[in-house]
Amino acid sequence: MSSVRVLVGTRKGAFILMSDGKRKDWTVSGPLFAGWEIYHMKGSPVDPNRLYASQSSSWSGQVVQRSDDGGATWNAVSNKFAYAGVPGTHQWYDGTPHPWEFKRVWHFEPSLTDADAVFAGVEDAALFKSPDGGATWEELKGLREHGTGPRWQPGAGGMCLHTVILDPSNADRIFIAISAAGAFRTDDGGKSWKPINKGLVSQYIPDPTAEVGHCVHHVAMHSSRPNVLFMQKHWDVMRSDDAGDNWHEVSGNLPTDFGFTIDVHAHEPETIFVVPIKSDAEHFVTDGKLRVFRSKTGGNEWEALEKGLPQKDCYVNVLRDAMAVDSLDKCGVYFGTSGGQVYTSPDAGDSWAPIVRDLPAVLSVEVQTLQ
Amino acid sequence: MTDAGATKGGPAIRVALPYHLRTLAKIESAEVRLEVAAPVTVRRVLDALEARYSMLGGTIREYGTGQRRAFMRIFACEEDWSHESMDAELPEPVAAGREPLLILGAIAGG
């Protein structure tokens, strides 16, 4: 029988939530790495027992943990992320040049075909790859060196490479996104990169349609349609039908189009989910109501999903990597909040229930569908 | 309990680590004991520590620069050695293993 394993990263440790395919009764294990920030955990699609966790703290920096038994035991692997060559400078908040400095891993993306290969998106923005399960890391320097790097600038959360999407139909194609530089694509396995931000309009930057400088919060793709991308930008929900070459807005009737997370239904590539956040000044949901918005039309037409979610006095945020979907039938949707709740919907968003209510602030949620 | 220190010859240097780093390195004892050749310096102690516990690499001092991480502090014989040269010779009681070298997380943050 199928089961699901939900990997939750929080401000003060990691948690693993397990359930059978009904997704009604849950067991909670943790905290793992108690007291540390866990920006992200993710499992290999090739070997679901192979998990990676990004563990960090202001005191002791970055640690990378790996489990080979589905999270029962963990061992630290290499945390040596050295930029290739002389890393040069990007722009600081005030526009002055600032040297590239490694701070943390925001996102792990395990290879779709090799259990030992994994990508790491890091702050200050760069993409690293390990061919050996995290024993060594090497930067794919073509991204940072393709030419626009000196113009990249940190967002409020730092200059982080937070999104890595591997194209299941083309091993040479990778999409990444950086706050606040934008989205980028390689078509040659990471040797060369180009910005893919045409169509993005950001009123808060000097040139609203600049090639780079956009605060992309997250990008999502359905594996069956790798040329169709959905983006939650700082403001605006966007869509591309040509692998990021051109974007158009699909915010439609959302109550606000600011937000962080976005995801795609596992079986319906035109069904997408966002959690609108009031504004860049007020990072919580609107009107005290926690509502997921779902579009079954690939954007523009959105419906509020609120059954089982708090509809008064709720002021939480949902961060960019804190939503995930399982591949069961019906598709399960999961998200975690800054208030420490992890909610699940076993019916593609129609109804919701909390799995846990009182974890530390949730930074990331990933789910594995296990057979 | 994890063996915190069987050493060969010479006095064993005692090192006290903060809770989070003991947990990371799966050290169950309050201190670890390390064999460090004279002259005993912070750099040599950290070299020996990271050689035995590779997962501590980068957690006390930065990769690349080798500098102490900003929120990590180092004390010897009740004196703050955080700003001393990593190559300065540590006090004799630490080198002789009578006093521990204390590595602490700074009291910072909320």
In a domain, B32, yes or no: yes
Residue with tokens 């290499």: A78
From first CA to last CA, the distance across chain B in angstroms is 32
Q: Please state the length of chain A.
A: 371
Task: Residue B59: list chain A partners with CB under 8 A.
Answer: 60-61, 63, 79
Task: Residue B54: list chain A partners with CB under 8 A.
Answer: 76
Token pair for B59:
């957690």
In a domain, B48, yes or no: yes
Task: Residue A63: list chain B partners with CB under 8 A.
Answer: 24, 55, 59
Nearest to A202 by CA among A249, A261, A138: A249
Alpha carbons B89 and A93: distance in angstroms, whole number = 41
Interface of A with B in 136-175 (CB under 8 A): none
In a domain, B1, yes or no: no
| Amino acid at position B21, single letter | L
pLDDT in tens, A230-279: 999 999 999 999 999 999 999 999 999 999 999 999 999 999 999 999 99
Tell me if chain A has a CB within 8 Å of the CB of B55.
Answer: yes
Strands A26-32 and A216-221, sheet pairing: unpaired
Quote ipTM for the complex: 0.89
Cα A267 to Cα A45, A127, A225, A348, A369, distances in angstroms: 17, 29, 11, 10, 13
Tell me if chain B has a CB within 8 Å of the CB of A99.
Answer: no
Q: Which of B20, B54, B64 sits opposite A57 (nearest CB)?
A: B20
In a domain, B5, yes or no: no
In a domain, B51, yes or no: yes
Are B21 and A80 an interchain contact pair (Cβ–Cβ within 8 Å)?
Answer: no
Task: Residue A61: list chain B partners with CB under 8 A.
Answer: 58-59, 62, 69
pLDDT of residue B4: 55
Give the count of Cβ contacts less than 8 A between chain A and B. Answer: 47
Tell me if chain B has a CB within 8 Å of the CB of A79.
Answer: yes
**DSSP bridge partners of A354:** A343
Residue B70's CATH number: 3.10.20.30
Token pair for A330:
């019906």
| Count of helices and strands (H, E) across chain A | 0, 30
The minimum CA-CA distance between B104 and chain A, rounded to whole Å, is 9
Which residue ranges form the domains of chain A, and what is each CATH number?
Answer: 40-358 (2.130.10.10)
Residue A210 burial class via C-beta count within 10 angstroms: exposed 0-12, middle 13-18, buried 19 and up: middle
Quick check: A218 pLDDT over 60?
yes
Q: Which domain holds residue B90?
A: 12-105
Task: Residue A82: list chain B partners with CB under 8 A.
Answer: 63-64
pLDDT of residue A204: 85
In a domain, B47, yes or no: yes
Task: Residue A35: list chain B partners with CB under 8 A.
Answer: 19-20
Do residues A76 and B55 touch, judged by C-beta distance below 8 A?
Answer: yes
In a domain, B81, yes or no: yes
Quick check: A312 pLDDT over 80?
yes
Alpha carbons A347 and A254: distance in angstroms, whole number = 22
Quick check: B3 pLDDT over 50?
no
Average pLDDT over residues A329-348: 98
Q: What are phi and psi of B58, to 5 degrees?
A: 80, -5
Are A35 and B20 an interchain contact pair (Cβ–Cβ within 8 Å)?
Answer: yes
Alpha carbons A127 and A117: distance in angstroms, whole number = 13
Nearest to A33 by CA among A71, A80, A5: A71
Average pLDDT over residues A118-136: 98
Domain count, chain B: 1
Tell me if chain A has a CB within 8 Å of the CB of B72.
Answer: yes
Q: A147 CB contacts (<8 Å, ≥6 apart)? A: none
Residue with tokens 């959105």: A302
Q: A17 CB contacts (<8 Å, ≥6 apart)? A: A5, A6, A8, A26, A27, A28, A29, A342, A355, A356
pLDDT in tens, B11-56: 799 999 999 999 999 999 999 999 999 999 999 999 999 999 999 9
How many other CB atoms are found less than 10 A from the CB of residue A132? 12
Rg (CA), chain B: 13
Tell me which H or E stretch contains A358: none
In a domain, B53, yes or no: yes
Alpha carbons A214 and A234: distance in angstroms, whole number = 8
Do residues A155 and A125 touch, judged by C-beta distance below 8 A?
Answer: no
pLDDT of residue B109: 56
pLDDT of residue B5: 53
Tell me if chain B has a CB within 8 Å of the CB of A63.
Answer: yes
